[in-house]
Amino acid sequence: MKIFKSLNVRITLTLITVLLANISFGQYKQKEYEKYPEQRIFPDQYFDSIAAKNALAVGTTTVTGVAFTKPKTDFGYKAPFASRIYANHIIVMLFPSTPYYQEWMRLKDKKENLKKNKIVFMDSVAYRYRLECETNSRGEFTFPKMKAGKYILVGTLPWTTSGSYNRYEGSGYNNYGGQTDYYSRQYYSTSHSDFLMQEIEVENGKAEVKVKLK
């Protein structure tokens, strides 16, 4: 009888141990510190899908263009006399310039601040109403069979700058107390990304419209 009691106690203790091992008390993961939490900004304007669809209907005008940027000065402005940096194989998107897209464009221009994590978004349904063209290595793009009207062109152009500097490695001294400083040449590159946005107009009766996206 004592043997059975002892066995029951052992079995009970084993079951309690197993149950405790499987109990999860939950774990909270602390969110990473963000100096500027993300702020998502959307247009307030109602999106008219019918107007957008009609604006992208087949027309008779061909839109041809070139996308490019220029390096910025120390003050953050594009250097006017610098050489062009052409958009090498990027996607250029064309949206109809309806009230919704016009507000989105204004918000992008006035409210977006990536440094402070303020990002302007477009409704996912509105994003579907677009045409796309991949540029060639010279930044050239074409949108054939466009109707007369206004459109918004956008694209993101990545580019890099490179340079070099002399890094101090140390100094050497000769028997006469003379000093020689030693340097090694270091090379670096910096990545950039420019968001290009331009409103264009296709006039009635024109066979071709040439534009610049910069």
Q: How many helices (H) and strands (E) does the chain have?
A: 4, 10
pLDDT tens per residue across span 26-62: 678 887 888 889 999 999 999 999 999 999 999 999 9
Instruction: Give residues with Cβ within 8 angstroms of 108, minimum separation 6.
Output: 120, 195, 197
The CATH number given to 39-73+84-169+194-214 is 2.60.40.10
Determine the pLDDT at residue 32. Answer: 80
96 CB-contact burial (10 Å; exposed 0-12 / middle 13-18 / buried 19+): buried
pLDDT tens per residue across span 168-212: 999 988 888 789 899 999 998 889 899 999 999 999 999 999 999
Which tokens go with 209?
């419209």
Number of residues written out for the chain: 214
Kindly indicate the confidence band of residue 22, based on its pLDDT and cuts at 50, 70 and 90. low
Name the nearest CA neighbour of 83 among 69, 96, 93: 69
Please report where in the chains the tokens 């090694």 appear, as a residue: 184
Determine the pLDDT at residue 8. Answer: 57
Element (H, E) at 9: helix 2-22
Q: Are 130 and 94 in contact (CB under 8 A)?
A: yes
